[in-house]
Structure 1
Amino acid sequence: MLLVHPVNEVVKFIPVLIGSVILGTNTGNPLWGLIVLAAIVGFALTRWFTTTYRVGTTDIELRTGLIQRKKLSVPRSRIRSVDIEADLLHRVLGLAVLAIGTGQHADSSEKFKLDALDADDVPRLRTVLLAHTAGSPESTAEQQVPSLRKDPPVSGNAREIGHWQASWVRYAPLSLTGFAIIAPIVGLAFQYGFDQIVFSSQAVHSIEDGSAVRIAVAIVLLVVAIVVIVSLAACTRYLTTYFRLRVLDNDRTLHLRHGLFTTRQITLDLARFRGATVNEPLLLRIAGAAELEAIMTGQSPRQKILPQAPRSAIERTLAELLAPRAVRRPGAANELSRLGDSAREPTVGRAHATVSTVALIAHGPVARRRRYTRALSPIAIIAVVMLINCLAGEYFSPWWWLLPALAALIAAALANDRYRGLGHAVLPATDDSPAWLITRSGSLDRDRDCLEAPGIIGWTVRQSFWQRRSGIATVVAATAAGKKRYLVVDIPLDQAWDLIESATPGRLGRR
């Protein structure tokens, strides 16, 4: 860690080092860069000398800081997740970073991380810290925890429900991750005067002095270059982040392992699993792909299970993930293990193909009309303003009328897609599975949420002024997991009460 800390801090403060070099060059004192570098390295070295931790029988403590001493203490009974990370330098040195989660959101400076652990000792330490969540002896749990230096074994107790394939990288450019990577780099370059170099170059002046055809060609080439660069950035991030992703389910915990340079292992306690979300952005949906996220209590609301992947792979993993809750209850896993895999697999296939592929109920003509009204009203107002100006004698080219006409076509298509994506369903409880609430909404960013009804802790039936006049409402299911609020939008009011009663019988009482 005497090597890792200085390297990480130098990388973090690269803009400061560049600024110090520029300052030293302009003032004729090149030692400025070396002074700043020495200060950064010295500060990084103090982190190793001032950081200690202790794993006790009831809690785990972390002390760090030189000028401002900080002590973090977490009771072991509050630990909900233990994540393992190891970047390229850590892996070369045989080290790993262990991050402890308690189910509460915390700033990066407040997160409990142990950075300096031997990679061989991390799996056993994770087993010890999560022993109270597994409900099984440490020796049994330790056999199910994968090692950081090798792929997790697939056995009868830990079956693989999803894995990454290299061909999935073709879906990476269909997300906005490429823009998120390129935008900060471009902004930093413009901050240091890159824009002045570009706009004052001879090539730009030759385009400005050229014909309209040359300008159009230049714009097309610029757009193509941006698309290519953004796509390459998205593919690179996709490969480095999700390389060799594997999702293992041992009926008690869910293990995720992925990463090319920085490997990461995530352990999720299935006792806190409340459902799953299929995210279908517009471009991914057109390409027949989607993303899969887990709905967990005490976890990030967007805990990704599978990244951009074909819809068939998403549905297959979703069906396995939403296996009957009977196999999650204490003691049920041991019973199924005695019966064998032949008795377990058909149950999964029968029960939850319905949850993942159930046909949703449409919300009716009123919901359709509201989508068209919201999409077309702003365009209609703009058209009326243009017409008033035209009648008032203000002249403008007739070609300007193409703008609201094209916008109306796009808005109508968007409104139709939003209505087609709107729907809900309630699957009643069975002997081996609880009731499920399935809701879907959105167009540009569409989510289909599958939520366990026992995880719903409250209901809200909300009506705006226009909803009251139309006889519809928005039903909000409150839960401690995931996004906390799951909406069934613009449902007829008489169906709202039936939905609540179907999902949570007896919750309404007498009205």
Structure 2
Amino acid sequence: MSDWQRLDPRVLLIGPVEAARQLVVPAVIAMVGIGSQQPRALLLLTPLFVIGAVVLGVIPWLTTRFRIEDERLLVHTGLLNRKQLTAPIERVRSVDLEATVLHRLLSLRKVLVGTGVDDGRIELDSLSVAQAQDLRERLLGSRPAAVPATAEDGLDASSVGLHESTALPAAPAPVVLARLDPRWARFAPFSLARLAVVAGLVGAIWQFDLPVEETGQDVWNWAVQASIWLVGIGLALGLISLWCVGSALSYLVSWWDLRLAREHGNLTLTRGLFTTTSTTVEEDRIRGVELQEPVLLRMVRGAELKSLVTGLDEGVYPVLPQCPVAFARDVGSQVLDDGGAGLSAPLAQHGRFARRRGHVRAQWMTTGWLLPLAVAGVLVDVIGAGWAVVAVLAGAGLGVLVGEMSYAHLGHALTGTHLVVGRGALTRIRTVLARRGVIGWTMRQSLFQRRHDLVTLTATTAAGNEFVALRDVDRAIAVALIREVSPTLGRWDLAAAVSSRR
């Protein structure tokens, strides 16, 4: 790929469509504004809109060139403002292949190259399927590099016995770690992250011109005559049904044909019904996994799995959507290649003082804001004193429950290759971070932690959110963890360093 290449000529069909989609809103506004004053102007604006979309769609094909030269990806693009992008292959962190419905009909792919910088990813839209696959393989180095000896090396093929029976071994076949089970859609309603999707669906339906004006009065008269409790129950059941159906459909659309595979030292995740996405990252850049179990998902024994990757813009690589927790742990163990030690290791708890601090924090989150509101409500005669007491007691009870959950989830463990940290209150989170992924440590003591010689220990890493925090751990245990995970820090008197700050 040393010669300059262009985008696939079929981009001339996609480009105008994409440009028209971006121009349609301002074009409609202009047509409505001008057309109301001068209707004849619409005859001129319509062809201008079409011509503009075609011109904007053709420009990328005329101006975009790319090639791989001297272990670098070179991309030149732009008409008036020319851009010359250079990305060393060794800095490439991920290569995503995306395809909308139109891309798939034309057998094209959009290539997104992630280099770990904040400016985003290098985009090449659109390449043929063969071009995109070849570019991904070259950028991620997934092609075998072995080359048989030849006469140029002072040997010929016969002298080294290179023939059909001694040919170089073929690359191993991909190992599929996970595929989508459509039955997993039952977990979707227990994820509040999809509430926005259902809300958008309700908003879209509301925009339709439904014949409610004629029947609205009749419905209102029936609602007044019927029991208010019956109406409330029916409305609640309708909303719950809409939530379940909408979230399940959104889940299937997003994760349809999910395939997680290990091939050539990379992990490749492919998913999507209408817009397909194929994300590939090098396994060498994976520093751990994170298993999340929100409180609603725990009720049905579900979980989500993510991996922590260095160099990605967001730092987190989705591995599995909401699925059975046992399956998520099994796939996570395969990604970590640790025999399941990290995700199943028992966590060492942090003692009664850490438990007490968890309860205090929980009470601040519940009763701490509810008590002033209740007092203010009584003073302005919005609620009665009895209801105010009930609300405060309910908040205190919720705080006790949240405090117990936060302590039950808090803990740590060490395996031969990983640091395991448990945390979270309503969402139980277990982070398994490779020891080699820890690049620094921070110990902090608040005024209240000093009373019981506790610290918040933070492991700094280049993956995920760039840190993993272990709260309310005994200072001596924190020092021992640092020395165990990072032996090179053993020459520093960490205990004395913390004591000097007390």
Q: Can you list the C-alpha shifts for 1:138-174, whole angstroms capped at 9, x where unaligned?
A: 789xxxxxxxxxxxxx995432222221111111222
- 1:206-225 matches, cutoff 5 A: 207=220, 211=224, 220-225=233-238
Structure 2 contact 437–462 (Cα < 8 Å) conserved: yes
Kindly tell me: are residues 93 and 384 of structure 1, through their superposed partners in 2, closer, same or farther at Cα, counting changes over 3 Å?
A: closer
What percentage of aligned pairs have identical amino acids?
Answer: 28
Q: Which amino acid aligns with 2:319?
A: I
Structure 1 contact 127–138 (Cα < 8 Å) conserved: no
Structure 1 contact 169–239 (Cα < 8 Å) conserved: yes
Matching residue of 1:137: 145
Superposition RMSD on alpha carbons, in Å? 3.5
Matching residue of 2:353: 366
Q: Can you list the C-alpha shifts for 1:243-267, whole angstroms capped at 9, x where unaligned?
A: 2222222472222222222222222
Cα deviation for residue 406 of structure 1 reads: 2.4
What is the TM-score with the length of structure 1 in the denominator? 0.78
Matching residue of 1:117: 127
Matching residue of 2:392: 404
Structure 1 contact 208–215 (Cα < 8 Å) conserved: no
Matching residue of 1:318: 332
Matching residue of 1:5: 15
The yes-or-no answer on 1:170 pairing with 2:186 is yes
For structure 2, the 5+ residue unaligned runs are 1-10, 149-169, 494-502
- 1:139-288 matches, cutoff 5 A: 157-183=173-199, 203=216, 207=220, 211=224, 220-250=233-263, 252-288=265-301
Structure 2 contact 198–247 (Cα < 8 Å) conserved: no
Distance in 1 between the 2:230 and 2:47 partners? 47
Kindly tell me: are residues 482 and 6 of structure 1, through their superposed partners in 2, closer, same or farther at Cα, counting changes over 3 Å?
A: same
Q: Which amino acid aligns with 2:181?
A: Q
Cα deviation for residue 367 of structure 1 reads: 1.8
Distance in 1 between the 2:211 and 2:455 partners? 54
Structure 1 contact 207–215 (Cα < 8 Å) conserved: no
The yes-or-no answer on 1:419 pairing with 2:407 is yes
- 1:316-465 matches, cutoff 5 A: 316-324=330-338, 352-377=339-364, 379=367, 382-383=370-371, 386=374, 396=384, 398-427=386-415, 429=416, 434=417, 436-465=418-447
Cα deviation for residue 184 of structure 1 reads: 5.3
Describe the SS at the equivalent of 2:491: coil
Cα deviation for residue 239 of structure 1 reads: 1.6
Matching residue of 1:145: none
1:48 aligns with one of 38, 52, 61: 61
Kindly tell me: are residues 278 and 44 of structure 1, through their superposed partners in 2, closer, same or farther at Cα, counting changes over 3 Å?
A: same
The yes-or-no answer on 1:126 pairing with 2:129 is no
Q: Which amino acid aligns with 2:145?
A: P
Distance in 2 between the 1:227 and 1:20 partners? 41
Q: Which amino acid aligns with 1:306?
A: L
Describe the SS at the equivalent of 1:470: coil
Distance in 2 between the 1:406 and 1:208 partners? 38
Q: Which amino acid aligns with 1:422?
A: L
Distance in 1 between the 2:258 and 2:95 partners? 18
Distance in 2 between the 1:128 and 1:297 partners? 20
Kindly tell me: are residues 13 and 472 of structure 1, through their superposed partners in 2, closer, same or farther at Cα, counting changes over 3 Å?
A: farther
Kindly tell me: are residues 14 and 307 of structure 1, through their superposed partners in 2, closer, same or farther at Cα, counting changes over 3 Å?
A: farther
Cα deviation for residue 177 of structure 1 reads: 3.8
Kindly tell me: are residues 291 and 138 of structure 1, through their superposed partners in 2, closer, same or farther at Cα, counting changes over 3 Å?
A: farther
Structure 2 contact 73–89 (Cα < 8 Å) conserved: yes
Q: Which amino acid aligns with 1:137?
A: A
Aligned length: 457
1:96 aligns with one of 109, 117, 125: 109
Distance in 2 between the 1:77 and 1:362 partners? 42
Structure 1 contact 426–438 (Cα < 8 Å) conserved: yes
Q: Which amino acid aligns with 1:402?
A: V
Matching residue of 2:457: 475
Structure 1 contact 24–33 (Cα < 8 Å) conserved: no
For structure 1, the 5+ residue unaligned runs are 141-153, 325-351
- 1:14-93 matches, cutoff 5 A: 14-20=24-30, 22-23=32-33, 26-27=36-37, 29=39, 30-31=42-43, 35-36=48-49, 38-93=51-106
Q: Can you list the C-alpha shifts for 1:193-236, whole angstroms capped at 9, x where unaligned?
A: x6999999973897499659766655555544444444433323
Moved more, 219-228 or 238-247: 219-228
The yes-or-no answer on 1:308 pairing with 2:322 is yes
Describe the SS at the equivalent of 1:98: strand
What is the TM-score with the length of structure 2 in the denominator? 0.80
Q: Which amino acid aligns with 2:260?
A: V
Kindly tell me: are residues 497 and 5 of structure 1, through their superposed partners in 2, closer, same or farther at Cα, counting changes over 3 Å?
A: same
Structure whose CA Rg is larger? 2
Structure 1 contact 168–309 (Cα < 8 Å) conserved: yes
Cα deviation for residue 407 of structure 1 reads: 2.4
Kindly tell me: are residues 202 and 475 of structure 1, through their superposed partners in 2, closer, same or farther at Cα, counting changes over 3 Å?
A: same
Moved more, 84-93 or 230-239: 230-239
Cα deviation for residue 510 of structure 1 reads: 3.7
Distance in 2 between the 1:135 and 1:120 partners? 14
Q: Which amino acid aligns with 2:384?
A: F
Kindly tell me: are residues 402 and 200 of structure 1, through their superposed partners in 2, closer, same or farther at Cα, counting changes over 3 Å?
A: farther
Distance in 2 between the 1:318 and 1:417 partners? 24
Distance in 2 between the 1:281 and 1:497 partners? 31
